[in-house]
Structure 1
Amino acid sequence: MNTAQDLKEILRRIEGRPYPAYKDTRGTYAFGPFLLSIDHVQGDPFAAPSDVSVLVKDSGFPAEILRTRQTRIAAEDRILRFFGQALHRQSRPGKGSGKSGKLSVTRPGQEILERTSCHLYEDGSVRVRFNIGFPANGRRILARELERILFVTLPTVVNESLIYKNYTPKMKEELQETWQLAMDQTAIRDQLKVLDLAAFVADGSILPRESGVSQKPMQEAVAFAAPESLAVEVETPFRGRIRGLGIRKGVTLIAGGGYHGKSTLLEALERGVYDHIAGDGRELVITDETAVKSRAEDGRSVQDVNISGFITNLPNGKDTVAFSTEDASGSTSQAAGLAEAIEAGTKTLLMDEDTSAANFMIRDNLMQEVVHGDQEPIIPFMDRVRELYEKDGISTILVAGSSGAFFSKADTVIQMDQYVPLDITEKAKNAAKAYVFREKENLQPFDCRSVRIPHRVKESERSKVRSRGMDTISVDRQDIDMRYVEQLVDPEQLAAIGQLLKLANREIVDDSRTLTEVVDVLEDRMNAGALDETVRGHGARPRKQEILAAFNRQRFQKITPDRKQQTADKLE
């Protein structure tokens, strides 16, 4: 094991030399209470900063933060925030060119995600990964400046944020509140199944956000309060009994005027598949963890997806049992997205009429009178929504502000009135009796089962994976458009998905495993150990649904139907 003194000697030896000499520093060094690992050294001062990590073996964190996987992840999130705060306090403007002296670490958002940047191990040790811009004057090494960072700044940051006995009383209280909140969130999530709920929104929740570019809660917003007829109570280990809106499984419609909070409620439910930090306002908004937001996505690629439950008899004779296109329309893209969500195992669909294809959702009586059903290949979602729940157990939560067509299909109708939810189910049902919406005739039973097999892609030896913000994953210079996968909440999730796609292609895809089986293997690997054993660099764990969404949107890997399964289905 190298010592801190060994590193100091290397730095003094390379002072003033050309920048590539920094590569001599790679390795692990013992710094008393922690180990410093210099994992990757940037090629020049203008490149992405170097990858560095610290491992504290005797961190002293209380054992209760490791009670469950959820408490561990929540504690890691809080510790990472403490590390970032300490890094910010101790940092000072770097000397030199390019990214010289820049210290950075992952900055988590409002959601709590498992990350490669921080991991707590069963033996009580903790590792944090971060970045340092190795200093230079032009392209000459400023080793003394790096020595100051590593031997003065970094030990202070580690002592303040990664060694529990050095925590202030406030920090200890925040850490305790963090893992206790995680246990309460888990308790509510477990009770969704017991109470037959698709989602729960606690009274007092603050759903509106600060702005269109901020996920922080809006100040002085109306606190959520469930109507008595839809209220349920859940038991939690630390907050006790909590009252809130219980959205029951089935078909739920969210109605109301514009700007009254319909989409705000739906967005909170979309993000309710993740736990949130204390003070977010949505920390007790809990949604079925398999829930998927469905929307139209014009122009996307679709590969051999069974959309026949929604679209049949296309005029060009195109197959809809194994439908493929490089340029999907609004209706075909939404049909494909729903079929893919079902393939991914969703039990709750989240939809907003504003982002849905109008002709996919409903055909009114006048349109049916003018254009006969035999001339329309689309089976509107309205004609399938009840069957989806009654036959397949898939619930739907739909925002509708312009059409009351779904009133007759809904089990529950909630009106948002100035951000206050009202139960108008009986009123809506009675009003709907005066209107008869004709359904498509001679409907076949719903079936959108897709069992597909991905095929291995030949990669170049220097294949690279990159992500750009929340929009794009690039694998070997082939872009995957992720703009409309709305339940991705952090750029590091896209970075992780890119690496998982590459890992799957190299080690798991074998031309016999189905797409869901491939992703299940990826999930097993991520569950087996620390996330950074599967995902390198800075990454945040995505859900199974979003990994599958990336597979389904790429245009360079062939995915074909499982012919054996198709034959078995026909024999049934």
Structure 2
Amino acid sequence: MQLLEAKLQKIDRHNYRSYSSLRGEYKFVDFDFYIDITQADPYAPASRVRAHRAWSLTDLAWLKDQSADYQRAARDFIARAFADLAQQENGIRIDRPGQTVLDRTAVVFDDEGIELRFRVNLPSDGRTIIAKKTLNLLTFTMPKIIRRATIARELDIEAMKRHCEAVEDQVALRAQLKEHNLLAFVADNSILPRLAGNNDSPLADAVPFIAPESLAIELDAPHRGKIRGMGVPTGITMIVGGGFHGKSTLLNAIESSVFDHLPGDGREYIVSDETAAKIRAEDGRCVHNVDLSPYISNLPMGKDTASFSSQNASGSTSQAAWLQESIEAGARALLIDEDTSASNFMIRDERMQALIAKDDEPITPLVDRVSLLRDQLNISVLLVMGGSGDYLDVADTVIQMHNYQAIDVTAKAKEVVASHPTRRALEGSESLQRPRTRPINRAALKALLEDGKFRVQVKDKTAMRFGRELVDLKALEQVADSSQLHTIGWLWFQLAQGKGWEKVPSKAFANMLNDDWFSMMPNYGDLAKPRVIEVMAVLNRMRKSEFK
């Protein structure tokens, strides 16, 4: 600490850039402090720092003996505690978790102790260094926060245990889905509605979810014991009902539950197949050599759809591409909401078939292919549908949402199908092939990083800058946190270091995202582990990606 004080006194009243001389390691009485990156001016992103504290000083060494998921949750809990302690201090900020409990780098456990990775906004008067303020921040305020966030007596240990046990329970529930042929599980008394479109907290006074008896199942959680809830079966499931009765709300809860939630979120006992991918129409997006022929063919001007590319895809084309890309990336389940889908991709009714001959219509709607996805590719599909009853012909399960409660209307739906048979003609072939794997050109990624301008920049979940390109990600609803996008950019950076074409990109990224994934990353505290599904989805939206 004395070294830090001496350096600060030396640069007092100097230009702000002199803060760069502080980079390095400093020994405090009970922790080691590292200044890795100093900001270039007062308005630049805050400086990146780390603090490492030995287990023996924390009374938390028992965490080393817990499971990897328990430790992930404990690290998340400590990050939240640090954020709460620092909220009154504008100069110190850690990557604060939201409603999900992700594998983050804000807090890291190693054999020796706990490492905190956070940012410090170094004080100034204009562009002049004020050493006294900085000294107070780094040698009084910051150490106090570090010590309180990493010692058992200052933490609510019982709350930490509940936090960690809830995560272990969710992992255990998710592991049981395959055994019971379920796409998802929604526990009784879950709270599905959210506070607002920009606030993922639970809605107060919301109606708790209760499973219909015919779909009810009990799963075993290691800490909570048996949990009753609704099992959403694999296959084709429709969610139907009137407007404003909770159809999309149920789907949103399921799509977000590919990740774990913290206690009190209302969704902490909802789990979904970890590969479930939500797809939608996305006008104007790019498409790179995707085989759309099962859904789109015979385009005007003879354009090939077996290897389709576009920098301005239509709604139906973009949704077909997203479906194929998701399966290529490893999705075993597709989640679709009619409200955000291209209507001509979803259905072509009897009257439109009579008006426009099939030879004049390039699109084979999903309603004619969805049963093949189930039967030939073993892909489950969960559909929110309010306007087309033709999907009832192929649905295995039909759930009606009424006043935010689920009712199993599968038997009634079969009666409706029998008494009101469809008169539309089946379109499309009798077979469906799994989309081919497209190699990616590493050189194209590396070219974006030329001229020394390498950047991975993320402000929120709607966009990511990689080198010179800004990727629009507004449609990716399953990205849980902007920190996942930071990681995705660094994964691309790692891939770009190789030569030639990567034959199976999804497999390469899966290998990178192992239990030790952050060891290949910089020592940043704002990284969180994404799914391969999201890594590939973002890559597919980068306009300068080159897929073969």
TM-score if structure 1 supplies the norm length?
A: 0.91
Give the match for residue 113 of structure 2. 125
CA contact 2:324–2:435 (8 Å) conserved in 1: yes
Match of residue 41, structure 1, among 38, 41, 45: 38
Structure 2: which amino acid aligns with 1:364? D
State the alpha-carbon separation in 2 of the partners of residues 419 and 406 from structure 1. Answer: 22
Give the match for residue 146 of structure 1. 134
Structure 2 counterpart SS, 1:192: coil
Distance 1:482 1:228, change over 3 A: same
CA-to-aligned-CA distance 1:309-341 (integer Å, 9 cap, x gap): 111222221111111111111111111000001
Residue 468 in structure 1 maps to residue 459 in structure 2: yes
Residue 6 in structure 1 maps to residue 3 in structure 2: yes
CA contact 1:303–1:324 (8 Å) conserved in 2: yes
Deviation of 1:448 (Å): 4.5
Deviation of 1:66 (Å): 5.0
CA contact 2:277–2:335 (8 Å) conserved in 1: yes
Structure 1 counterpart SS, 2:266: coil
- Any residues of structure 2 matched to 1:1-150 within 5 Å, and which? 4-58=1-55, 59-64=58-63, 67-89=66-88, 91=89, 102-121=91-110, 123=111, 125-150=113-138
Give the match for residue 373 of structure 2. 388
CA contact 1:310–1:335 (8 Å) conserved in 2: yes
Structure 1: which amino acid aligns with 2:174? R
CA contact 2:118–2:525 (8 Å) conserved in 1: no
Structure 1: which amino acid aligns with 2:7? I
Residue 412 in structure 1 maps to residue 397 in structure 2: yes
Structure 2 counterpart SS, 1:382: helix
Structure 2: which amino acid aligns with 1:104? R
Structure 1 counterpart SS, 2:184: strand
Deviation of 1:412 (Å): 0.6
Which has the larger displacement, 446-455 or 269-278? 446-455
Distance 1:30 1:12, change over 3 A: same
CA-to-aligned-CA distance 1:15-37 (integer Å, 9 cap, x gap): 12222221121111111211111
Structure 2: which amino acid aligns with 1:188? L
Structure 2 counterpart SS, 1:206: coil
CA contact 1:112–1:275 (8 Å) conserved in 2: yes
- Any residues of structure 2 matched to 1:279-318 within 5 Å, and which? 279-318=264-303
State the alpha-carbon separation in 2 of the partners of residues 509 and 69 from structure 1. Answer: 34
CA contact 2:107–2:525 (8 Å) conserved in 1: no
State the alpha-carbon separation in 1 of the partners of residues 9 and 258 from structure 2. Answer: 51
Give the match for residue 167 of structure 1. 154
Structure 2: which amino acid aligns with 1:326? Q
Deviation of 1:382 (Å): 0.7
Give the match for residue 208 of structure 1. 193
State the alpha-carbon separation in 2 of the partners of residues 274 and 532 from structure 1. Answer: 23
CA contact 1:499–1:535 (8 Å) conserved in 2: no
CA contact 1:7–1:29 (8 Å) conserved in 2: yes
Structure 2: which amino acid aligns with 1:314? L
What is the CA RMSD across the aligned residues, in angstroms? 1.7
Q: What stretches of structure 2 of length at least 5 have no aligned partner?
A: none
Residue 491 in structure 1 maps to residue 486 in structure 2: no
Which has the larger displacement, 7-16 or 346-355? 7-16
Distance 1:530 1:551, change over 3 A: closer
Distance 1:536 1:454, change over 3 A: farther
State the alpha-carbon separation in 2 of the partners of residues 286 and 442 from structure 1. Answer: 34
Deviation of 1:60 (Å): 2.7
State the alpha-carbon separation in 2 of the partners of residues 76 and 286 from structure 1. Answer: 21
Structure 2 counterpart SS, 1:413: strand
Distance 1:448 1:331, change over 3 A: farther
CA contact 1:39–1:51 (8 Å) conserved in 2: yes
State the alpha-carbon separation in 2 of the partners of residues 279 and 24 from structure 1. Answer: 45
CA contact 2:106–2:524 (8 Å) conserved in 1: no
State the alpha-carbon separation in 2 of the partners of residues 300 and 439 from structure 1. Answer: 31
State the alpha-carbon separation in 2 of the partners of residues 146 and 541 from structure 1. Answer: 33
Distance 1:7 1:37, change over 3 A: same
State the alpha-carbon separation in 2 of the partners of residues 478 and 72 from structure 1. Answer: 36
State the alpha-carbon separation in 2 of the partners of residues 338 and 535 from structure 1. Answer: 35
CA-to-aligned-CA distance 1:185-234 (integer Å, 9 cap, x gap): 11101110111100000000000011121100000100000000000000
Structure 2: which amino acid aligns with 1:167? E
Give the match for residue 222 of structure 2. 237
Residue 518 in structure 1 maps to residue 518 in structure 2: no
CA contact 2:215–2:230 (8 Å) conserved in 1: yes
Deviation of 1:441 (Å): 4.5
Structure 1 counterpart SS, 2:59: coil
State the alpha-carbon separation in 2 of the partners of residues 81 and 535 from structure 1. Answer: 19
Give the match for residue 568 of structure 1. none
Distance 1:286 1:437, change over 3 A: farther
State the alpha-carbon separation in 1 of the partners of residues 458 and 250 from structure 2. Answer: 29
CA-to-aligned-CA distance 1:430-481 (integer Å, 9 cap, x gap): 1122222434346141125122111112231412222232211122221211
CA contact 2:288–2:545 (8 Å) conserved in 1: no
Deviation of 1:62 (Å): 4.5
State the alpha-carbon separation in 1 of the partners of residues 423 and 483 from structure 2. Answer: 46
Give the match for residue 437 of structure 2. 451
Deviation of 1:529 (Å): 4.9
State the alpha-carbon separation in 1 of the partners of residues 31 and 409 from structure 2. Answer: 60
Give the match for residue 384 of structure 2. 399
- Any residues of structure 2 matched to 1:423-572 within 5 Å, and which? 423-433=408-418, 434-441=420-427, 443-455=429-441, 456-457=443-444, 458=447, 459-462=449-452, 463-505=454-496, 507-508=497-498, 510-524=500-514, 527-530=515-518, 533=521, 536=524, 538-560=526-548
CA-to-aligned-CA distance 1:491-536 (integer Å, 9 cap, x gap): 212222222222222x245325332233234324xx3354573674
Structure 2 counterpart SS, 1:480: strand
State the alpha-carbon separation in 2 of the partners of residues 296 and 500 from structure 1. Answer: 27
Structure 1: which amino acid aligns with 2:99? Q
Deviation of 1:51 (Å): 0.9
Work out the number of aligned pairs and report it. Answer: 540
Q: What stretches of structure 1 of length at least 5 have no aligned partner?
A: 92-100, 561-572
CA contact 1:386–1:409 (8 Å) conserved in 2: yes
